[in-house]
Amino acid sequence: MSFLRGSTNYVWCTTSVLGKGATGAVFQGVNKHNGEPVAVKTFNQLSHMRPHDVQMREFEVLRKVKHENIVKLLAIEDDQEGRGKVIVMELCTGGSLFNILDDPENTFGLPEGDFLLVLEHLSAGMKHLRDNNLVHRDLKPGNIMKFISEDGRTIFKLTDFGAARELQENQQFVSLYGTEEYLHPDMYERAVLRKSVTRSFTANVDLWSIGVTLYHVATGNLPFRPFGGRKNKEMMHLITTKKASGVISGTQTSDNGPIEWSRELPNHCQLSTGLKYYVTPLLAGLLEENQQKMWSFDRFFAEVTNILSKRVLHVFFMNRVSSIKIFMNMDEPLFNLKEHIRLQTEVRSENQLLFLDNQCLEERVGVDTSVRGYPETSQDIPIFLLSIDNNNVTFPPETEQPKFPSFPNTVSVENDASMAKMACSVGHDAKRRVEMFSVMDRLIKCGVRQFINMLRTQLIKLLDRVQRLEDGEQLHMYFTTSVQRLTQVAKKGCDRRLAEEVVRIASELKTVRASFASLVDPVRQLHNRFVTDDDLTRQWMATTRDIKCPCKQRANEKMKHFVDRLRESWQHLLRDRATRSLTYNDEQFHALEKIKITETGKRVKSQLNTDVKPALCLMAECLADWYKMSQTIYLQTAILDKDASHSGEMMEKIRSKLCFIVDELDEITETGAPEKPSNGMEDKLYGRTLYFTLIQQLFSCNTDMEHIVRKNTELIDALRSDTEE
């Protein structure tokens, strides 16, 4: 029997099966002229028994669509053996989304990045279909292909348009197509339960299939699962029709048992809390059974656009040793970011210390800057978060670890292959946990370094400010100038008001500088300890030096090795299952592979629960002890900085007052203002007393000011001669 078949320009081998369906199969082929690999869809006898217009519909649809997220049609040719037409398409080497989800690595759903890519590409492909008034009618993971482009990008593409047809938004149809787990309940009732339901359907039934597909992609499971699976058809229909609006899953775990409903995605789902916030209502809208409440395609496209347009900010919450993701609109400011963080961490906005690139986030980006202007963040380069009012560090609660299966002693090629696959799934889950712990370990250390650098910078700036305020040359200059001008004017017996104001300001300055003087020593002490001596770094290094963190253990590399061993054994048992009947020697090797899986599983559990997790728990305890001291230093620095700012503001107000007085006195001097009427000796005595008080206030304010005034001998001599009179 020949396994080679061909058409005018293409040839394919019937042993290279890419997929099979009810009406045909898809094989890998090649272009005869350039050797380019292709996918060739052939049709069986059942397909040829369909009405001619139905057979031609798939060809017409493929000719009509042209989009990056729809598998590209290359040709429609005749089989040279006279078996009808074949469809030649671009080859998607990544396989179908169903096969990807069937891999043990994805037993609990795809990673968040891959999920978002599926969401984006599935939505884009469906939008192109709707723009051309087409309905697919058989959407499922098996009909979504993974294509790897020349530049290495992953592109998901819709395929298999055998059930597709042209249909306006509100136009109805009655023919039944689709795969039962992904069918809208009304279609399921007619197509699977064979009940006579006088009901027609619109293009919107595709939305239910999209919802089931997206739930499957996010979790690795179908949303509605009766006990016994597909065979329990009546219960399947009951689950989908009896669920309340907003419920996105229903599971029956025992025969005739209760149904466990849920409005949330399961804990094992790899999507972040931030993304779940938007995906959960999306799924609830798509999985709406009531046709009156069903979403429209426009609503679906708008919601997907909203999700994909958001800026993702990665935040590492050090008090809980956990990474979070914040999804925000581009124009939202820092205030909104803090509110989003509060919702996920319960840390109030005013108690959030956010820092990035060794700087406080407010200083790094500005309070009014929108998210659009923020620097890029990632899981490895996040914004760090510490709670100012809480120095506790708690290890985050984990989702329950799946258990490794226990193999029976007897050989069952079918059961053993299934259990080996589950062992691989558990191994991949453990590998992800170790990788997460390794990231947490690195981020704790990075967060500590950045906090120390941020605090050092603040202390350096604070000391510099204190020193500049302590010098106060500009303030002294204005004070001296005001006294000079006052001497020139007030000796004539005029404008006591300004003289009295200078005396009053001198008293204020004395009070402010006395308050400021109490800041100088604490600031210098903090600077010496935590900048010059770098105490925080030394104490952190001392407490964590002996911890065998995941990177020192090369934990990620070990887990990869263990998982590769599990996959090798699984593949071995898969080959045994395909063989069906094993020889005595094959059975011995089969048993050895089961032992190998069991022993590798023990090493995986030991690496995770005995080596890596305890090390990170110890690191979290060290962080808690270290932060108790660091938080105190940070708060002391903040208080001193606030007090220094207040002193600076008060000195600036005094400077402004003196500046204003100097301007007034300059104006009096320039215009030659008339002398005020003198009250004789009483006025003269008042003036002398005033000058004497002024000198006392001036000299008592500060030794530096005394030095400045003593240098101005003309001023001092004038005041002294007047008082001696």
CA–CA distance, 549 with 558 (Å, rounded to integer)? 14
- In angstroms, what CA-CA distances link 62 with 29, 75, 141, 163, 228? 19, 10, 19, 12, 38
* Beta-carbon contacts of residue 168 (< 8 Å; ≥ 6 apart): 133, 203
CB 582 within 8 A of CB 413: yes
Burial code (b: 16+ CB inside 10 Å, e: under 16) for 421-458 equals bbbbbbbbbbbbbbbbbbbbbebbbebbebbbebbbeb
- What is the enclosing helix (H) or strand (E) of 238? helix 233-242
How far apart CA 334 and CA 10 sit, in angstroms, is 59
Q: Single out the catalytic residue among 138, 441, 495, 641.
A: 138
Burial 589-627 (b: 16+ CB within 10 A, else e): ebeebbebbeebbeebbebbeeebbebbebbbebbbebb
Closest CA to 284 of 262, 308, 309: 262
The tokens describing 409, both together, are 């002693």
Strand partners, 30: 11, 37
Q: Are 156 and 144 in contact (CB under 8 A)?
A: yes
| Cα–Cα distance, 682 to 144 (Å, whole number) | 103
Interhelix angle 713-724/681-701, nearest 10 degrees: 140
User: Helices 273-286 and 112-131: crossing angle, nearest 10°?
Assistant: 30
Q: For the chain, how many residues are written?
A: 725
Q: Are 553 and 608 in contact (CB under 8 A)?
A: no
Q: How many CA atoms lie within 13 A of 554 on its CB side?
A: 5
Annotate 615-657 with DSSP letters as a single string.
HHHHHHHHHHHHHHHHHHHHHHHHHHHHHHHHHHHHHHHHHHH
Listing DSSP states for 358-398 in one string gives TEEHHHHH-TT--GGGSPP--SSS-EEEEETT-----PPPP
* C-alpha–C-alpha distance, residues 166 and 129, integer Å: 9
- Annotated active-site residue 331? The verdict is no
Cα 639 to chain centroid distance, Å, stands at: 33
Three-state SS annotation for 87-108: EEEECCCCCEHHHHHHCHHHCC
DSSP state of 589: H
Q: Distance (Å, rounded) from C-alpha 151 to C-alpha 678?
A: 95
* Triad 523, 525, 528: Cα angle to 5°: 110
**Half-sphere exposure for 167 (CA within 13 Å, toward CB):** 21
Which of 374, 380, 309, 319 shows the shortest CA–CA distance to 344?
A: 319
DSSP label of 410: S
Tokens representing 498 are: 């300004």
- Are 136 and 82 a contacting pair, CB within 8 Å? no
Which residues are known to be catalytic? 138
